[in-house]
Chains A and B, each alone.
Chain A
Amino acid sequence: MNTMTATMDGATDNQRESDTAEKAPLDIRDHGDVGDYETIGEPFVDNAKMSARTVNVHYGDKQAIKDVSLDIGENEVIAMIGPSGCGKSTFLRTLNRMNDIIPGCRVEGEITLDNEDIYAGNQDTVLLRARVGMVFQKPNPFPKSIYENVAYGPRIHGLAHTKAEMDGIVEKSLQRAGLFEEVKDQLDKPGTGLSGGQQQRLCIARAIAVSPEVILMDEPCSALDPIATARIEELIDELREKYTIAIVTHSMQQAARVSQRTAYFHLGKLIEVGETKEIFTNPRHQLTENYITGRFG
């Protein structure tokens, strides 16, 4: 409550409920700025696995992320929500330097993993990406066999010494992604021949096969049916014991179910962040409330 924008000035919870129209002058489609802005809520935690400080991301002249500071705590699931195009994927990609390969993309600010600057000159991106795995928004299996898709990561990192070990890793990863039963008889078939949802689970299996410390998931369930979604959410719960997870999602229910903390992005800014329960029951910023109550798509 310490930092409020002009729109929020003098607003009490009661007033907001009764009189929203008056307090929501910001149109989400208005690409005008939200002005200089400081995030509402507590972006910092004590046991941060990764932390971002005043991160700015530009695509050429276009700024996609503005002054975002956010911690991701050890063994926590943080959900990132916000309208399409607000920069969720962009922010997620800064966490394992996947933005590096986009021509014209510039990242400023400081991002650390276990208190080490991942953008420092001596930081090895190969090692970083092995430690910070990623599941992409669109399923992107390799045009190779299902087995090879999962085994590739462990193989290049030398995680398995025998064929049996590798078989074990592949089976376990596929099982945890909830795909094993469906594909166990066709492990040598191309991964690209699977359905969209199966492909996405294959990509999840591929990501967890290298046992990263942090897993970034960009809308992992957008192509999945409710059963597979439930399986993935279960998996996320399981993984939380050992790993740290950042998940981008368009489903409020999913964010509410799987995450401990939620961050709401809008036009490249981190508007509000806090305990998931708090955010969903008691949002403090008008934009957050509008978004989670479905006033904007």
Chain B
Amino acid sequence: MSYNSTTAIQASLKKRYARERRFQWYGRLAVLTGFVFLFILLADIVSKGTPAFTQHFIRIAVNFDADKLEVSANPTEEELYAANFNGVIKQSLREMFPDVSGRKDKRALYKLISIGAEYDLRDSVLENPGLIGTKQEVWLRAHSEAGSYLKGQVDTQLDEADRRVKDNQIQWLDSLRAEGRTESRFNVIFFTAGDSREPELAGIKAALLGSAYTLLVTFFLAFPVGVLAAIYLEEFAPRNRLTDLIEININNLAAVPSIVFGLLGLAVFINFFELPRSAPLVGGMVLSLMTLPTIIITSRAAIQAVPPSIRQAALGVGASPLQTVFHHVIPVAMPGILTGSIIGMAQALGESAPLLMIGMVAFIMDVPGGVTDPSTVLPVQIFLWADSPERGFTEKTSAAIMVLMTFLIFMNALAIYLRRRFEMK
């Protein structure tokens, strides 16, 4: 027996090991493929999105002349709000480039500066009224087209008609740059403002807060309800036809396309209960309907995976069923429950279709102050910007995706932290 079977085993061993090696290579290949695509995707997004985090400013000598501003020498706040800062900026530009004549050229010249600059100017005068009557060198926000030229994104070889930055503007910008009158700064407004028609004034904050509010509502509705439902179904509910039916329905609900939940939200929450349209409250309610099945299913699986011996041990020393569940089963199942909830929340964060149905697609300039204020969410904002033709919005789209992914990473990190804490106990 020994000699023959040993040689036979040896012969088969080689084959078995070869099979294992092959399998391992397939696995490595699969992982590698995944990584390559992920890398390409990330590299593309990051390279397109990074420029959005900087913004160019142009230094201009501004004459804060009371007459030109159409205010008195000691203006009140009201006067300043009505003051003609726009005219002052235009005049200053004309003074810097006295050669420019003709309405068309002048218009091109004015377009170097963002239309938001007059508000920046007004704010600085409001802060410091002593500026009136003086002449100051002021940094003004560049228009997004001018900015994109200064960032080097404009292909000057292109035919003039095919690009938005014209030859004369290029000439002016070059001379401004030569005089040290241009500067690239961190794009603060991207993180402090809501959406805008002007790319250089558009920010992500409204959408970011909208997403945060929506997810908060989703979490506070879906997590307790989902976990409680899972605990009840798993630990207390009798096994009968009714609970079987409920289980089947929950599983089916998880497979329902998300837009259906949006329609439901529109019909029930908005049309019937007359809750505010476009609000994170309703968005969160709709998304919690969508996430509930995920949370219930994963939580049930986590609770099921708790060894029955732990329950027996607890019941054996005289713990009540409720004590058994809350003292022993839930702590052990918690990491799994959290993982499932985070998956559900991540799905909710990336969801846009159901939110379009309840009007969270509106153009939102104001940062929402609460869950009932009209707002939009990150994926919808990304969609809106991706749809805009201006070059400035293209980079903002990628930048918004980066913000969305950072949000996601932050959420995951929180989940990992919580999981660690539960596992330690």
CB of A156 within 8 A of CB of B316, answer: no
A98 within 8 A of B: yes
Partner of A140, one of B312, B318, B320, B425: B312
CB of A129 within 8 A of CB of B312, answer: no
CB of A153 within 8 A of CB of B328, answer: no
How far, in whole Å, are A130 and B332 apart by their CA atoms in the complex?
A: 23
The minimal Cβ–Cβ distance linking B382 to chain A, given in whole angstroms, is: 43
How far, in whole Å, are A136 and B425 apart by their CA atoms in the complex?
A: 24
The minimal Cβ–Cβ distance linking B310 to chain A, given in whole angstroms, is: 7
How far, in whole Å, are A14 and B185 apart by their CA atoms in the complex?
A: 108
Q: Which residues of A contact B314 (CB under 8 A)?
A: 142, 152
CB of A138 within 8 A of CB of B316, answer: no
How far, in whole Å, are A207 and B319 apart by their CA atoms in the complex?
A: 12
How far, in whole Å, are A3 and B327 apart by their CA atoms in the complex?
A: 51
Main secondary structure of the interface of A (DSSP, over half): helix
A96 within 8 A of B: yes
A248 within 8 A of B: no
The minimal Cβ–Cβ distance linking B242 to chain A, given in whole angstroms, is: 16
Q: Given A127-B318, A153-B318, does the pair A144, B425 have CB atoms closer than 8 Å?
A: yes
How far, in whole Å, are A101 and B314 apart by their CA atoms in the complex?
A: 12
The contact size tier of chain A is 20 to 34
B32 within 8 A of A: no
Q: Which residues of B contact A133 (CB under 8 A)?
A: 316-318
A258 within 8 A of B: no
Q: Which residues of A contact B312 (CB under 8 A)?
A: 98, 101, 136, 140
Partner of A129, one of B318, B327, B331, B332: B318
How far, in whole Å, are A173 and B65 apart by their CA atoms in the complex?
A: 90
A146 within 8 A of B: no
Q: Given A136-B309, A140-B309, does the pair A152, B327 have CB atoms closer than 8 Å?
A: yes
How far, in whole Å, are A156 and B320 apart by their CA atoms in the complex?
A: 9
B61 within 8 A of A: no
How far, in whole Å, are A98 and B315 apart by their CA atoms in the complex?
A: 8
Residues 67-90 (chain B) with a chain A CB within 8 angstroms: none
Q: Which residues of A contact B310 (CB under 8 A)?
A: 140, 142-143
How far, in whole Å, are A115 and B202 apart by their CA atoms in the complex?
A: 81
Q: Which residues of B contact A141 (CB under 8 A)?
A: 313
How far, in whole Å, are A136 and B308 apart by their CA atoms in the complex?
A: 12
How far, in whole Å, are A9 and B317 apart by their CA atoms in the complex?
A: 46
Q: Which residues of B contact A127 (CB under 8 A)?
A: 318
A210 within 8 A of B: yes
Q: Given A98-B312, A138-B309, A144-B425, does the pair A207, B239 have CB atoms closer than 8 Å?
A: no
Q: Which residues of A contact B323 (CB under 8 A)?
A: 156
- Beta-carbon nearest neighbor of B313 in chain A: A140
CB of B313 within 8 A of CB of A130, answer: no
Number of interface residues of B (CB under 8 A): 20
Q: Which residues of B contact A126 (CB under 8 A)?
A: 318-320
How far, in whole Å, are A96 and B311 apart by their CA atoms in the complex?
A: 15
The minimal Cβ–Cβ distance linking B275 to chain A, given in whole angstroms, is: 43
- Beta-carbon nearest neighbor of B323 in chain A: A156
Partner of B311, one of A101, A103, A209: A101
How far, in whole Å, are A282 and B257 apart by their CA atoms in the complex?
A: 75
CB of A143 within 8 A of CB of B332, answer: yes
CB of B318 within 8 A of CB of A142, answer: no
Q: Given A143-B332, A152-B327, does the pair A136, B317 have CB atoms closer than 8 Å?
A: no
Most buried by A among B312, B317, B320: B317
CB of A210 within 8 A of CB of B309, answer: no
Q: Given A143-B332, A144-B425, A156-B323, does the pair A206, B317 have CB atoms closer than 8 Å?
A: yes
User: Mask for A106-132, Cβ within 8 A of B = 1, else 0?
Assistant: 000000000000000000011101100
Residues 217-263 (chain B) with a chain A CB within 8 angstroms: 239
CB of A153 within 8 A of CB of B239, answer: no
How far, in whole Å, are A125 and B324 apart by their CA atoms in the complex?
A: 13
How far, in whole Å, are A96 and B312 apart by their CA atoms in the complex?
A: 11
Q: Which residues of B contact A144 (CB under 8 A)?
A: 425
The minimal Cβ–Cβ distance linking A283 to chain B, given in whole angstroms, is: 33
Q: Which residues of B contact A157 (CB under 8 A)?
A: 318
User: Mask for A175-206, Cβ within 8 A of B = 1, else 0?
Assistant: 00000000000000000000000000001001
The minimal Cβ–Cβ distance linking B28 to chain A, given in whole angstroms, is: 35
- Beta-carbon nearest neighbor of A152 in chain B: B317
CB of A156 within 8 A of CB of B313, answer: no
- Beta-carbon nearest neighbor of B311 in chain A: A101
How far, in whole Å, are A130 and B327 apart by their CA atoms in the complex?
A: 17
CB of A134 within 8 A of CB of B309, answer: no
Q: Given A101-B311, A103-B239, A156-B323, does the pair A136, B316 have CB atoms closer than 8 Å?
A: yes
CB of A129 within 8 A of CB of B425, answer: no
- Beta-carbon nearest neighbor of B318 in chain A: A130
- Beta-carbon nearest neighbor of A138 in chain B: B309
Partner of A203, one of B313, B318, B425: B313
User: Mask for A201-230, Cβ within 8 A of B = 1, else 0?
Assistant: 001001101100000000000000000000
The minimal Cβ–Cβ distance linking B318 to chain A, given in whole angstroms, is: 3
How far, in whole Å, are A262 and B252 apart by their CA atoms in the complex?
A: 56
How far, in whole Å, are A138 and B316 apart by their CA atoms in the complex?
A: 13
Q: Given A101-B312, A138-B309, A140-B309, does the pair A210, B317 have CB atoms closer than 8 Å?
A: yes
- What are 20 A-B residue pairs whose CB atoms fall within 8 Å in the complex? A101-B311, A101-B315, A103-B239, A127-B318, A129-B315, A129-B316, A136-B316, A138-B309, A140-B312, A141-B313, A142-B314, A142-B328, A143-B310, A152-B314, A152-B317, A153-B319, A156-B318, A206-B317, A207-B316, A207-B317
Residues of A within 8 A of B (CB): 96, 98, 101, 103, 125-127, 129-130, 133-134, 136, 138, 140-144, 152-153, 156-157, 203, 206-207, 209-210
Please list the 9 inter-chain residue pairs (A to B) with the smallest Cβ-Cβ separation, ordered nearest first: A130-B318, A140-B309, A153-B317, A134-B316, A140-B313, A129-B318, A126-B320, A126-B318, A156-B319
Residues of B within 8 A of A (CB): 239, 307, 309-320, 323, 327-328, 331-332, 425
Not counting A130-B318, A153-B317, A210-B317, a sample of 18 additional A-B residue pairs whose C-beta atoms are within 8 angstroms of each other reads: A98-B316, A101-B311, A125-B315, A127-B318, A129-B316, A129-B317, A130-B317, A133-B318, A134-B316, A140-B309, A142-B310, A143-B310, A143-B332, A144-B425, A152-B319, A156-B317, A156-B319, A156-B323
